[in-house]
Amino acid sequence: MDFDLMLRVTPFFVAAAWVTVQISALSLALGLAMGAIGAALRLARSRLLRVLGTAYVSIFRGTPCLIQLFVLYFGGPQVGINLDPFAAGVIGLGLNIGAYMTESIRGALVAVERGQTEAARSLGLSRFQALREVVLPQAARLMIRPLGVNSVALIKGSALVSTISVVELTYTAQRYIGSTYKPFEMFAIAAVLYMIIVYGAARAVAWLDARYAIE
Partner 1 sequence: MKMLLSAAVALGLAVTAVWGGTTAARADDLQAIKQSGELRAAMSGAYPPFNFVNEQNQVVGFDADIARGIAERMGVKPVIVTTAWDGIIAGLLAGKYDTIVGSMTITDKRKEVVDFVGPYYHAGRGVFVKGDSAVKSLADLNGKTIGVTLGETHEKWAREHAGEHGDWTIRTYKGLPELLLELNAGRVDAIVVDNIPIRVAVKKSGAEIRQLDTPDIEGGSVAIGIAIRKGNPELHAAMQKALDEMMADGTYKKIAMEWIGADIR
Residues 19-58 as x/- pattern, contact with partner 1 by CB under 8 A: ----------------------------------------
Binding residue for partner 1 (CB under 8 A) from 22, 54, 138, 180? 180
Binding residue for partner 1 (CB under 8 A) from 66, 152, 153, 205? 66
Candidates 56, 62, 67, 63; CA nearest to 34 is 56
Binding residue for partner 1 (CB under 8 A) from 74, 199, 207, 212? 74
Instruction: Report the distance separating Cα 197 and Cα 70, nearest Å.
Output: 26
Tell me if 5 contacts partner 1 by CB under 8 A. yes
Binding residue for partner 1 (CB under 8 A) from 31, 38, 53, 85? 85
Q: In sequence order, what are the residues at sequence separation of 6 or more whose Cβ sits closer than 8 angstroms to the Cβ of residue 73?
A: 83, 85, 88, 92, 164
Q: Kindly state the DSSP code that residue 79 receives in the 8-state scheme.
A: G
Question: 3-state DSSP: the chain helix, strand, coil percent, rounded to 5?
Answer: 85, 0, 15
Half-sphere exposure of 3 toward its Cβ, with a 13 Å CA cutoff?
A: 0
- Compute the radius of gyration of the chain from its Cα atoms: 21
Tell me if 167 contacts partner 1 by CB under 8 A. yes
Backbone angles phi, psi at 123, to 5 degrees: -85, 0
Q: How far is the CB of 181 from partner 1 (least distance, A)?
A: 4
Judged by CB, which is closer to partner 1: 70, or 152? Answer: 70
Residues that bind partner 1 (CB under 8 A): 5, 8-9, 12, 15, 64, 66-67, 70-71, 73-79, 82, 85, 162-165, 167, 171-172, 174-181, 183
